[in-house]
Amino acid sequence: MKRGLLALLIVVLFSLFSAPLAQGIEVIVPAFYVDIEPVRDEITLEEYAIFNVTVKNVQDFEDNFRIRPLEDLKWGFQTVPLTDYFSGKTIDSGEEATIVMYLKPAKNMDSGKYNIKLEIESEESDRLVTSVLKIGVGMPVIEGIYTPLTNFDIELNVPDRIDPRSKYTIDLHLVNNNALVLNDITVLFESDLIGSDQTSLDLGSNEDKTVQFAVQFPSDTKPNSGYAKVTVLYKDEKVFEESQNFNIVGYTPAFEKSINTSEFSGKTIRRVDIVSLSNVEKTEHIKLETSSWENFFTSSNPQAEVIEDEETGLMYYSWIVTLEPEESTQLEITTSYRPLYILAVFIIAGLILFYAFRNPIVAKKQIQAIRRSHGAVTHAKILVTVKNRGSKTLKDLKIVERVPKLFNVSSTFDGTLSPTRKYTHSKEGTVLEYKLDRMDPHEERIIKYEVSPSLHTVGEVTLKPTIITFKAKQNLQLKSTSNQLTLDGEPKL
């Protein structure tokens, strides 16, 4: 027993003093997004298809976006206004704008479905985004000459058995076998148990669609039988009518269980209240997860059997409970952890020592961006984050960044902290020194700089850790370092 407690204490303290290594990740953000919203995508040869094309500029600068000419010459198009095509659409950074497109098919085009390639390009970033405009083309209905009333395929699907605890749909599948566009088809739904509903739809040339009616009953609905009838009307004439029966089934729901936990005098008591919601006698296997460790300190009433799941390896307290309709019972599990109090005291003491004596300065060095060519690094942006994670103000901070000789450091430090001193060292290479008078608790400073190699160097190059010296309470001089960073000419897979 004592050896087990000592081993657990060693594992906990070791995990507290372990720290993960940080790695830099480069994220590539798209220049812009394109969203296609069809306004009219089912047309005849005499009509225009209409689409709203929304472009969102996610770059950090203003850009102009143009629609390229269509590859399919059977389609003519224009924008409203025309300048959106001839001059393009200028969009500010982070904003979006909509271009309205009108497309018309050639007069000799066959009826059917068409996928039209749409290309939008950015002038500034030279990026290209491709989308697809989906258009259905059908023959116009000529009144008095031909009216499609009967050339339908229609199928009604009604669930045979309905569990009132679940959601269902009644599906009506319609197929237009005409080359004509059929508008304003009316679908009527009627049921003695569900009620009635009505909807309308359009069917393009040789198009098929499914109409769904949602079905959900109260969970306490008694077993019963009913019907669902669907009628389809086109131009006020009945083209389809069918009725199907369904059954609402009875069920025995799982026991309703609630767990209440109370703690006192070093004990934890869990009470499991169980209620039968069924209308017949029901037997159920009740399990409550445990472990070998917890079971060592636990008793139960009524006495539970401890079982192990062969697939998962998890351990459970197990009871076989039989209840009459609306009957209830209670299971009680008592766990005493008094022997663990001493271990808890040691753990708390370790935590106090850890937070009292840990270094208040934490520094992290990472790659913000990197470019490579032929197995070598050609340019890199380095990001160093320095944070005072302590609760005291630190003074006279000196941050030293060392860059190997084979790299040139850019002299531009826009948008970041500039070095107090920059010089060349015979061994360390280029040295950047930053001085801060103070850092308040939880304050964070960010240093950025850019490097490029003076020679084409293949392979890995290591940047030494950043060194931070500072004064803590009572002017105690302390030191902290960041991680070292490796620039690799070959990207990691």
Q: Does residue 139 surpass a pLDDT of 60?
A: yes
Q: What CATH architecture does domain 359-488 belong to?
A: Sandwich (2.60)
Q: Does residue 259 surpass a pLDDT of 60?
A: yes
Q: Does residue 304 surpass a pLDDT of 60?
A: yes
pLDDT attached to residue 143: 47
| One CATH from 3.20.20.80, 2.60.40.10, 3.40.50.1440, 3.40.50.1000 for 152-248 | 2.60.40.10
Provide the 3-class DSSP secondary structure of residue 84.
helix
Average of per-residue pLDDT across 321-345: 84
Domain boundaries, the chain: 32-138, 152-248, 256-340, 359-488
Residue keyed to tokens 């017949």: 280
Q: What CATH architecture does domain 256-340 belong to?
A: Sandwich (2.60)
Distance CA 311, CA 23 (A): 36
pLDDT attached to residue 141: 52
Q: What token pair was written down for 432?
A: 């950047």
Per-residue pLDDT of 141-158, as tens digits, reads 544 444 444 467 888 899
For the chain, the straight-line distance linking the first and the last C-alpha, in angstroms and rounded, comes to 48
Per-residue pLDDT of 38-92, as tens digits, reads 999 999 888 899 999 999 999 999 999 999 999 988 899 999 888 898 899 999 9
What percent of the chain shows pLDDT beyond 90?
A: 47
Please state, rounded to an integer, the average pLDDT across all residues of the chain: 85
Average of per-residue pLDDT across 165-169: 87
Q: Which of 202, 169, 192 is nearest to 243 (CA)?
A: 192
CB 120 within 8 A of CB 67: yes
Per-residue pLDDT of 343-386, as tens digits, reads 778 888 888 887 767 889 999 999 999 998 888 889 999 999 99
pTM of the model: 0.34
Provide the sign of the torsion angle of the four alpha carbons 335, 340, 341, 344, taken in this order: negative
Burial profile 383-403: b = 16 or more Cβ within 10 angstroms, e = fewer: bbbbbbebeeebeebbbbbbb
pLDDT attached to residue 46: 86
CB 476 within 8 A of CB 419: no
CATH number of 32-138: 2.60.40.3880
The torsion of the CA quartet 30, 386, 12, 310, rounded to 10 degrees, works out to 0
- Give burial (CB, 10 Å; 0-12/13-18/19+) of 79: middle
Integer CA distances (angstroms), 418 to 381, 422, 448, 469, in order: 15, 10, 9, 18
The torsion of the CA quartet 246, 248, 254, 255, rounded to 10 degrees, works out to 180
Contacts of residue 412, defined as CB under 8 A and 6 or more positions apart, other chains included, come to 450
The answer to whether the 32-138 and 256-340 domains have the same CATH topology is yes
Q: Which of 493, 469, 487 is nearest to 479 (CA)?
A: 469
